[in-house]
A and B are shown apart, each in its own frame.
Chain A
Amino acid sequence: MLTYEIVVIGGGPAGLAAAIEAKKNGIESILIIERDGELGGILQQCIHNGFGLHVFKEELTGPEYAEKFIHELKQMGIAYKLDTMVLDINKDKEIHAINTIDGFMTIKAGAVILAMGCRERTRGAINIPGTRPAGIYTAGTAQRFVNMEGHKVGKRVVILGSGDIGLIMARRMTLEGAKVLAVVELMPFSGGLTRNIVQCLEDYNIPLLLSHTLTEIRGKDRVEGIVIAKVDENKKIIPGTEQEFDCDTLLLSVGLIPENELSYNAGIELDPITYGPTVNEAMETSVEGIFACGNVVHVHDLVDFVTQESRRAGKNAAGYIKKEIKKESQTVHTHPEKGIRYIVPQRVRIANVGQKLDLFMRVDNVYQDVYMVVKINDKEIKRIKKKHLAPGEMESLEIQKDDLVCEEGSMISILLEKEGA
């Protein structure tokens, strides 16, 4: 049996940052397990720029961002296994993994950091009716085909869903010579970052059809066309608004889901909104000594925030090994109220909060000129004015330690209030 102080599952941006930070905090024996043939995760196929503005104060492409961490990791001599699949983990922090060199392995860890990331929702997840021809891809799959494997995915393309990957792919396919006919979005607003709507759609005159959905896919062997229709405020199709597109390719950018089969089978509690593990202030899951960070916890818009969160997880996992984390403490819960979908972390042990507590959240709709209000047991402790909030953009706020006047079982709630209400 192999033994490590910390085992990190996943060698993408979250796993890399967590491992490096654990090493910086004095942990010598660390192993990263990665199922792909190289480190870097999804960043390697995200060849567009816009990464690193917070962490490095410069604008990098995905591969450049990954390379900085991979370089640092190798310099530090942190061990990693590629092409290695983790089969399961358990509450005793034993990991079963397999690859073609070592065969089947049992690895015992002092602490585990889950950094498996997320995966795309597929056609099945949104129940699109119709035939099943070739030419239907998730946007990320198409991105990998185009950017890493050098395939042309299609010539006339419609993209369903206006998440960031869909927007990025609209531009990418256009630059590669395809005609992107439209980006179709069910909601009355886009789920992507505003800058991506400007530089990926407006720059190339690609129409964004809000409050529209797909009603039919045509074609037997290959996509021959699709039909879309307008929806009303209840997302019900409005008859008579159907529009046909003659296309050979349909890309789906309809959301990301944290990948948590391993966590679920290990008996780790999952949040029904984020689909990721519930975590405490140390990014520790409901199972002691198993930490989680990055998109496996909740889907982030920016890799910079994944890095920051993962550094916290790596530092705290190191603290756990060194027995520096206070297990006995008053524990309070965070609670999303009006306008807020979820808050991470879900639990906070007050004794481990440094000078401030950082909370991360998403809103449930587009809001203008509202206050984000923080309450502890119904007593307001903070109020922040927000000019523009959207579900596609993660929000964060700080609570100063001095404001955290709580007792066991207290509730920190966050809600939105209209200006002047």
Chain B
Amino acid sequence: MKSKEIICIVCPNGCYLEIEKKGDEYVVRGNKCPRGKIYGVKELTNPTRVVTTTVKIKDGKLKMLPVKTRDPIPKNKISACMRAVDKIEVKPPISVGDVLVQNIAGTHVDLIASRSV
């Protein structure tokens, strides 16, 4: 297989990665840290992203609560996740890290609060 060039998005360094498939193995070059290698292989096999968005707050001083998926979810599940989030309304008090929805959109990842209200 020809090598594929991608930009690592694990952190703001944005390393330019070169990934080559050798048999069943992937060889990653250009990464400054081990996380870059994991990202590179994952990006070619099963790309994932953390989804951050907001949900409505009922009877609160603030109108919207920022939320996120605790871990990255597969890219092709992002829109299903957004549709599921759209239906939620929460009531304070909420602490940062509280689980709002378990296993959002069948991803086995929880939706959690990004701030306390």
Residues B52 and A61 in contact, CB atoms below 8 Å apart? yes
The answer, among B62, B66, B75, B116, for a CB contact under 8 Å with A47, is B66
Residues B50 and A59 in contact, CB atoms below 8 Å apart? yes
Q: Which residue of B lies closest to A60 (CB)?
A: B114
Cα-based distance from A49 to B115 in the complex (angstroms): 13
Residues A195 and B54 in contact, CB atoms below 8 Å apart? no
A379 part of interface (Cβ distance < 8 Å): no
> Assuming the A-B contacts A61-B66, A203-B75, A388-B16, are A198 and B52 also in contact, with contact meaning beta carbons closer than 8 angstroms in the complex?
no
Residues B78 and A175 in contact, CB atoms below 8 Å apart? yes
Give the total of B residues in contact with A, Cβ under 8 Å: 28
- Of B6, B16, B53, the most chain A CB neighbours within 10 A belong to B53
Q: Which of B70-107 contact A (CB under 8 A)?
A: 75, 78, 82, 96
B27 part of interface (Cβ distance < 8 Å): no
Q: Which residue of B lies closest to A47 (CB)?
A: B66
Per-residue CB contact flags for chain B residues 39-73 toward chain A (1 = under 8 Å, else 0) read 00000000001111110100000111010100000
The answer, among A67, A149, A176, A302, for a CB contact under 8 Å with B115, is A67
Per-residue CB contact flags for chain A residues 34-64 toward chain B (1 = under 8 Å, else 0) read 0000000000100111100100000101111
B12 part of interface (Cβ distance < 8 Å): yes
CB neighbours of A198 from chain B (8 A): 6-7, 9, 14
The answer, among B14, B62, B96, for a CB contact under 8 Å with A64, is B96
The 6 closest A-B pairs by CB, nearest first: A194-B14, A63-B115, A195-B9, A47-B66, A61-B114, A150-B63
Residues A148 and B63 in contact, CB atoms below 8 Å apart? yes
> Assuming the A-B contacts A47-B114, A63-B114, A63-B115, are A194 and B7 also in contact, with contact meaning beta carbons closer than 8 angstroms in the complex?
yes
Report B's interface with A, CB cutoff 8 A.
6-12, 14, 16, 49-54, 56, 62-64, 66, 68, 75, 78, 82, 96, 114-116
Closest CB in chain A relative to B29 CB, distance in Å: 13
Residues A150 and B56 in contact, CB atoms below 8 Å apart? yes
Per-residue CB contact flags for chain A residues 147-177 toward chain B (1 = under 8 Å, else 0) read 1111000000000000000000000000110
CB neighbours of B115 from chain A (8 A): 44, 63-64, 66-67
10 new A-B pairs (CB below 8 Å) besides A50-B12, A175-B82?
A61-B66, A61-B68, A66-B115, A67-B115, A146-B54, A149-B63, A195-B10, A197-B7, A203-B75, A301-B12
Report A's interface with B, CB cutoff 8 A.
44, 47-50, 53, 59, 61-64, 66-67, 146-150, 175-176, 193-195, 197-199, 203, 301-302, 388, 393
Closest CB in chain A relative to B43 CB, distance in Å: 9
Cα-based distance from A120 to B101 in the complex (angstroms): 36
Cα-based distance from A147 to B53 in the complex (angstroms): 8
Q: Which residue of A lies closest to B16 (CB)?
A: A388
CB neighbours of A203 from chain B (8 A): 49, 75
CB neighbours of B52 from chain A (8 A): 47-49, 61
> Assuming the A-B contacts A47-B53, A147-B54, A194-B7, are A63 and B12 also in contact, with contact meaning beta carbons closer than 8 angstroms in the complex?
no
Cα-based distance from A197 to B50 in the complex (angstroms): 16
Q: Which residue of B lies closest to A304 (CB)?
A: B12
Residues B12 and A67 in contact, CB atoms below 8 Å apart? no
> Assuming the A-B contacts A203-B75, A301-B12, are A175 and B53 also in contact, with contact meaning beta carbons closer than 8 angstroms in the complex?
yes
Closest CB in chain B relative to A347 CB, distance in Å: 29
Cα-based distance from A48 to B66 in the complex (angstroms): 9
Q: Which residue of A lies closest to B63 (CB)?
A: A150
Residues A64 and B114 in contact, CB atoms below 8 Å apart? yes
Cα-based distance from A47 to B112 in the complex (angstroms): 12
CB neighbours of B6 from chain A (8 A): 198
- Of A146, A149, A198, the most chain B CB neighbours within 10 A belong to A198
CB neighbours of B9 from chain A (8 A): 194-195, 198-199
Closest CB in chain A relative to B77 CB, distance in Å: 13
Closest CB in chain B relative to A395 CB, distance in Å: 12
- Of B49, B51, B62, B66, the most chain A CB neighbours within 10 A belong to B66
CB neighbours of A195 from chain B (8 A): 7-12, 14
Cα-based distance from A203 to B56 in the complex (angstroms): 26
Instruction: List 7 contacting pairs A-B, 8 Å CB cutoff, sorted by A.
Output: A49-B68, A59-B50, A63-B115, A147-B66, A175-B51, A195-B10, A199-B49
Cα-based distance from A381 to B63 in the complex (angstroms): 55
Q: Which residue of A lies closest to B57 (CB)?
A: A150
Cα-based distance from A248 to B16 in the complex (angstroms): 36
Cα-based distance from A53 to B53 in the complex (angstroms): 20
